[in-house]
């Protein structure tokens, strides 16, 4: 099933892989300097959001922060200013990023691994809702991001034995507190020897099962498991959730590694039968470049003389320019050609600087809408 708010036909899906986090930051900075419009940057945690936000400010990027950190009034102020176009980027986490309702966003960058393709595709659908071209970018370092996400899963899901030990400690401590007082989270962390994140995960699972009630930093045991069978059912469901999250992560990794059309891959993943490539994503563009290179290598070598003129490009052809990137030809005039560039808007450039990428026009991008700036 395709998630609500799923991405449209005007999105350019791209994945950039770097060797480490330092290279990833520099790549992000380069991408933001290329972009003329406004967009979102997603990270996994509030801590990551605050760190990246401060780094972007130090790099001179007009940024806002919208996540769990800070007071509600601060978040509302940042959101209001972003909606008023006072910042280029909003650094956010998934729960808060989905609250941004602005149709003219030109890009979304996932700076850290999304926890599932469902979340990723839904977040991509937040940009370009005005039907003009927009970019959905996923950045990943080959080693660090995978290690970070794997560690996150390990922290999120303690082992079965650890969960059982936590429950036994909670039951023991609950016998020694006054009714309604609850057991402090700090004492449970110390007694169990588990990291705070793991304790919170087990407590959340027990809360969902109706065994405990969480109130601020205290855990109130409402009842015990009826019998061993109910406890086993709880542990089995817990492990099933762990496996499900691991499989969702593997789905993101497969998406990153695929060489097929990314939009086609996503649509097929969500059960749609799509046979045609989008022609816009990074994989489609690389395939077109390889095809053009093969065609050039087979053609007889001809030297262009000073008197020779570049052939006129036809309306609708996809071309690439070394400075302005890719776009669609609006009008060919021999030495000069008018092009609607995806990121640079409508420009008249020297035809000799253009390279044809693929025959045909981008009908799905609503004609001249391609060249509108964000």
CATH 2.30.30 holds for 310-360: yes
Tokens of 215: 């109130």
Give the CATH number of domain 11-145; options: 3.90.420.10, 3.40.50.300, 3.50.50.60, 3.30.300.30. Answer: 3.40.50.300
Residue 154 confidence (pLDDT): 57
d(CA 212, CA 167): 10
List all residues 6 or more positions away from 359 whose beta carbon is below 8 Å from its beta carbon. Answer: 317, 318
d(CA 19, CA 12): 23
Burial of 88 (C-beta count, 10 Å sphere; 0-12/13-18/19+): buried
**Which residues of the chain are in CATH 1.10.10.10 domains?**
157-245
Residue 360 confidence (pLDDT): 38
d(CA 42, CA 62): 16
d(CA 352, CA 159): 63
Q: Which one, of 276, 269, 272, lies nearest residue 121 by Cα?
A: 269
Predicted TM-score (pTM) of this structure: 0.64
Average pLDDT per 10 consecutive residues for the chain, totaling 374 residues: 60 91 91 91 92 96 86 86 93 86 94 90 91 93 64 62 86 86 90 84 86 87 87 83 79 89 92 88 87 63 45 78 77 80 73 69 37 44
CB atoms within 10 A of CB 71: 8
Residue 11 confidence (pLDDT): 92
Residue 91 confidence (pLDDT): 94
**Domain 157-245 adopts which CATH fold?**
Arc Repressor Mutant, subunit A (1.10.10)
**Which residues of the chain are in CATH 3.40.50.300 domains?**
11-145
């Amino acid at each position: 099933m395709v998630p609500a708010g799923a991405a449209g036909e005007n999105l350019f899906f791209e994945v950039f892989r770097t060797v480490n986090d330092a290279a990833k930051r520099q790549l992000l900075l380069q991408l933001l300097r290329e972009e003329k419009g406004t967009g979102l940057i997603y990270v996994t945690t509030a801590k990551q959001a605050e760190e990246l936000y401060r780094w972007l400010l130090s790099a001179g990027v007009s940024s806002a922060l919208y996540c769990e950190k800070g007071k509600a009034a601060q978040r509302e102020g940042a959101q209001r200013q972003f909606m008023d176009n006072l910042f280029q980027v909003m650094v956010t986490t998934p729960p808060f990023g989905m609250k941004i309702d602005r149709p003219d966003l030109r890009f979304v960058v996932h700076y850290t691994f999304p926890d599932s393709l469902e979340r990723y595709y839904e977040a991509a659908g937040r940009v370009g809702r005005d039907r003009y071209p927009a970019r959905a970018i996923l950045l990943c370092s080959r080693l660090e991001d995978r290690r970070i996400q794997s560690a996150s899963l390990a922290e999120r899901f303690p082992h079965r034995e650890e969960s059982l030990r936590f429950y036994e400690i909670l039951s023991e401590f609950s016998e020694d507190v006054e009714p309604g007082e609850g057991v402090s989270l700090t004492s449970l962390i110390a007694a169990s020897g588990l990291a705070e994140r793991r304790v919170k995960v087990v407590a959340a699972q027990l809360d969902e099962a109706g065994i405990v009630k969480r109130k601020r930093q205290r855990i109130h045991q409402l009842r015990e498991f009826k019998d061993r069978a109910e406890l086993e059912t709880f542990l089995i469901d817990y492990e099933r959730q762990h496996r499900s999250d691991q499989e969702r992560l593997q789905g993101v990794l497969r998406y990153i590694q695929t060489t097929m059309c990314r939009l086609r891959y996503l649509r097929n993943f969500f059960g749609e039968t799509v046979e045609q490539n989008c022609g816009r994503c990074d994989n489609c563009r690389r395939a077109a470049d390889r095809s053009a290179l093969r065609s050039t290598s087979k053609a007889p070598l001809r030297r262009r003389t000073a008197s020779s003129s570049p052939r006129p490009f036809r309306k609708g052809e996809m071309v690439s320019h070394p400075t302005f990137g890719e776009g669609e030809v609006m009008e060919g005039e021999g030495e000069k050609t008018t092009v609607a560039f995806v990121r640079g808007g409508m420009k008249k450039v020297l035809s000799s600087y253009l390279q044809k990428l693929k025959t045909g026009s981008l009908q799905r991008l609503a004609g001249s809408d391609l060249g509108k700036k964000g």
